[in-house]
């Protein structure tokens, strides 16, 4: 349980918050559908539980998804590169970051122009193709995103997803990246190049500290992810939930209190959250 001493005694009730990866977790890996998550999403909406996306997706992609879902919540884009806090969210006050209407933004990663400069500098030595080297049509073909979604995925602000001709050179590329203040992580479909100071877990913990400054309740955090780059989410929450891959296998993550969803994607996401919420309610009754 994450508690802040100055606020813990003001109200005994629990404030829950859900932090979730998108691709392969809330969204099905192949179809990007969240249809099977509807039951838990409805419960989250009814109980007014904050639902924070932590994703490799871009701000425009998240905005489109939130608009389609009819929600307006804080979100973390491009693998922990930045937290976007919507104006007047629960009338909370965010006294850090910079204004980018309609958000306050807390940037933890590098800028995309820095990242692209590095990509161009290593392209002669390493055969890599970044989103900035690909057309929206290429990205659509590689990801299965619709043409409209692929355009939004290409609107990067902080990080670069890329493909590498020969994985054997990954270690060398990582070394060169580190020497320049960047790092390489592996996502579901692509490698990602990003600023070395960013991570999904760091961004989550910053968001939690902003929540604690604004809520006068005890905070209980639930986190969901499916890949190695979600470890930061799962180790930073009170209740970590690991979603299996489409073939039913689980990412090898060693956390003592982890719960394993029984089904991949949106159906496992929904079923496990409902289980957890029911258990919490029974405990509180
Ligand atoms: Mg994922």
My answer on whether 268 and 152 are in the same domain is no
Closest by CA position to 248, among listed 230, 231, 217, 226: 226
My answer on whether 171 and 102 are in the same domain is no
Is 259 contained in some domain? Answer: yes
Cross-strand pairs, 161: 192
Q: What's the pLDDT tens digit per position in 9-43?
A: 456 788 999 999 999 999 999 999 999 999 999 99
Å from CA of 230 to ligand 1 middle: 7
DSSP-assigned letters across all residues of 61-113? HHHHHHHHHT----EEETTTTEEEEETTGGG----SSEEETTEEEEE-S--HH
How many Å apart are CA 29 and CA 158, to the nearest integer? 23
The encoded tokens of residue 281 equal 């309610």
My answer on whether 67 and 186 are in the same domain is no
Is 228 contained in some domain? Answer: yes
Q: What's the pLDDT tens digit per position in 255-274?
A: 989 999 999 999 999 999 99
Query: Would strands 259-260 and 239-242 be described as parallel, antiparallel, or unpaired?
Result: parallel
Which among 160, 195, 230 is the end of a domain? 195
How many Å apart are CA 66 and CA 285, to the nearest integer? 33
Pick the residue with more confidence: 265 or 187? Answer: 265
| Structural domain containing residue 207 | 12-108+201-284
My answer on whether 117 and 256 are in the same domain is no
Is 6 contained in some domain? Answer: no
Per-residue pLDDT at 167 = 85
Domain count, the chain: 2
Is 5 contained in some domain? Answer: no
CA geometry: angle at 74 spanning 82 and 67, to 5°? 110
Contact partners, residue 87, CB within 8 Å, separation at least 6:
101, 102, 103, 104
Catalytic residue flag (residue 21): yes
pTM: 0.91
Is 80 contained in some domain? Answer: yes
Taking 60 as the threshold, does the pLDDT of residue 161 lie above it? yes
How many Å apart are CA 225 and CA 126, to the nearest integer? 30
My answer on whether 136 and 160 are in the same domain is yes
Taking 70 as the threshold, does the pLDDT of residue 5 lie above it? no
**What letters, b where the CB count within 10 A reaches 16 and e where it falls short, cover 247-260?**
eeeebebeeeeebe
Which among 128, 161, 195 is the end of a domain? 195
Query: Would strands 51-54 and 75-77 be described as parallel, antiparallel, or unpaired?
Result: parallel
Is 2 contained in some domain? Answer: no
Å from CA of 194 to ligand 1 middle: 17
Q: What is residue 219's three-state secondary structure?
A: strand
Is 280 contained in some domain? Answer: yes
Å from CA of 229 to ligand 1 middle: 8
My answer on whether 98 and 220 are in the same domain is yes
* pLDDT category of residue 230 using cuts at 50, 70 and 90: very high
My answer on whether 237 and 130 are in the same domain is no
My answer on whether 134 and 157 are in the same domain is yes
* Secondary structure letter of residue 36 according to DSSP: G
Ligand 1 is an ion; residues with CB less than 5 A from it: 21, 23-24, 188, 226-227
Per-residue pLDDT at 58 = 97
How many CB atoms lie under 10 A from the CB of residue 270?
24
The CATH number assigned to the domain holding 134 equals 3.30.980.20
Pick the residue with more confidence: 157 or 143? Answer: 157
Contact partners, residue 77, CB within 8 Å, separation at least 6:
55, 57, 58, 59, 62, 84, 157, 158
Provide the percentage of residues in the chain whose pLDDT is more than 70.
95
Q: What's the pLDDT tens digit per position in 102-131?
A: 999 999 999 999 999 999 999 999 999 999
My answer on whether 56 and 124 are in the same domain is no
The CATH number assigned to the domain holding 213 equals 3.40.50.1000
Å from CA of 98 to ligand 1 middle: 28
Which among 155, 179, 195 is the end of a domain? 195
My answer on whether 129 and 93 are in the same domain is no
The sheet carrying 160-164 orders its strands as 128-130, 160-164, 191-195, 182-186
My answer on whether 94 and 214 are in the same domain is yes
Is 3 contained in some domain? Answer: no
* pLDDT category of residue 8 using cuts at 50, 70 and 90: very low
Per-residue pLDDT at 113 = 97
How many CB atoms lie under 10 A from the CB of residue 202?
16
Closest by CA position to 79, among listed 174, 175, 188, 168: 188
Taking 60 as the threshold, does the pLDDT of residue 4 lie above it? no
Mean pLDDT for all residues in the chain: 93
My answer on whether 159 and 183 are in the same domain is yes
* Secondary structure letter of residue 168 according to DSSP: G
Å from CA of 1 to ligand 1 middle: 25
């Amino acid at each position: 349980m994450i508690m802040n001493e100055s606020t813990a005694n003001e109200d005994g009730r629990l404030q829950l918050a859900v932090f979730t990866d998108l691709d392969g977790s809330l969204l099905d890996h192949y179809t990007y559908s969240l249809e099977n998550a509807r039951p838990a999403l409805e419960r989250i909406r009814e109980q007014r539980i904050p639902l924070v996306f932590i994703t490799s997706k871009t701000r425009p992609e998240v905005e489109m998804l939130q608009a389609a879902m009819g929600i307006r919540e804080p979100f973390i884009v491009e693998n922990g590169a930045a937290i976007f806090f919507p104006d007047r969210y629960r009338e909370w006050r965010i006294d850090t970051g910079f204004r980018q209407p309609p958000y306050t933004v807390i940037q933890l990663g590098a800028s995309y122009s820095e990242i692209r400069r590095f990509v161009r500098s290593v392209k002669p030595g390493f055969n890599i193709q970044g989103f900035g080297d690909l057309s929206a049509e290429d990205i659509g073909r590689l990801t299965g995103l619709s043409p409209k979604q692929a355009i939004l995925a290409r609107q990067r602000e902080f990080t670069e997803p890329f493909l590498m001709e020969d994985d054997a050179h990954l270690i060398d590329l990582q070394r060169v990246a580190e020497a320049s203040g960047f790092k390489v992580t592996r996502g579901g479909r692509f490698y990602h190049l990003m600023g070395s100071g960013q991570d999904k877990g760091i961004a989550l913990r910053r968001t939690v500290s902003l929540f604690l400054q604004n809520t006068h309740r005890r905070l209980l955090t639930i986190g969901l992810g499916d890949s190695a780059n979600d470890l930061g989410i799962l180790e930073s929450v009170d209740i970590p939930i690991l979603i299996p891959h489409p073939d039913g296998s689980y990412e090898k993550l060693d956390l003592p209190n982890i719960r394993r969803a029984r089904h991949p994607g949106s159906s496992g996401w929904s079923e496990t959250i409902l289980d957890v919420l029911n258990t919490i309610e029974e405990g509180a009754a």
